[in-house]
Amino acid sequence: MVEIKTDASLDAMRAAGRIVAQALTAVRESAAVGVTLRELDGTARAVLSEAGAGSPFLGYRPDWAPVPFPAVICASVNDTIVHGIPDDYALRDGDLVSVDCGASSGGWVGDSAVSFTVGRARPADTRLVDAAFEALDAGIAAAVVGNRVGDIAHAIGRVCRGAGYGIPDGFGGHGVGRAMHEDPGVPNEGRPGRGVPLRHGMVLAIEPMLIAGGTDDHYTARDGWSIRTTDGSRAAHAEHTVAITDDGPRILTLL
């Protein structure tokens, strides 16, 4: 069931989204050669704590997960697409990092992700990250009253495929509100004019995921969480929580 939020609820979700943006900004500023993924998680925890917010990631355990998620961010490096568990891996020059973070505040959830390079960026990685954010922007532009979820999916997929990148099947965006994952699902590829109609008050997490090698193949690592590219190529992930409004898309996870 798709929940339609009131305008007051959207304002409350904006507060949660701002905390997510603050956490991601702090993590990105802290990311440097030699810094561990666990330390980045600690940075995000400090921001959430100072804001009096909780984490929808910490302790989250869907049916398919072997253990609850042990951190407040997903930190996915190089060939890890999403759901990377922060550990003692120390960042190296040229690493491509995707960080996904959520915050719970006032009974509402915000969810967002960024990708960036640590140190000197490979040109191919820069193109991949740029394409991820271009796909995100395209998806957001399609998130308007009168369109359907398929229009968002089509806009994202057109950018990804047009740039020659793969899209991991089975992963995409979702509704968000009082829970981190709500209806409807938002695929990263699809047919325009199909799916749930977009209405004022719907809130979606729109999140393109791109595989540099051009294939869609992926597998789950031994930790039961990390999703990695089968061909070993690098991946990027970008995400915002977006409200559908009569005045156009409202991004809730900006600073």
Kindly state the percentage of the chain with pLDDT values over 70.
Answer: 100
- Please say whether the beta carbons of 225 and 214 come within 8 A: no
What is the band of 71 on the pLDDT scale with cuts at 50, 70, 90?
very high
What does the pLDDT read at residue 176?
98
Q: Cα–Cα distances in Å, from 58 out to 19, 29, 44, 65, 125?
A: 16, 22, 12, 13, 29
**pLDDT tens digits, 84-112:** 999 999 999 999 999 999 999 999 999 99
What does the pLDDT read at residue 230?
98
What does the pLDDT read at residue 91?
98
CA 114 to chain centre: 7
**pLDDT tens digits, 162-205:** 999 999 999 999 999 999 999 999 999 999 999 999 999 999 99
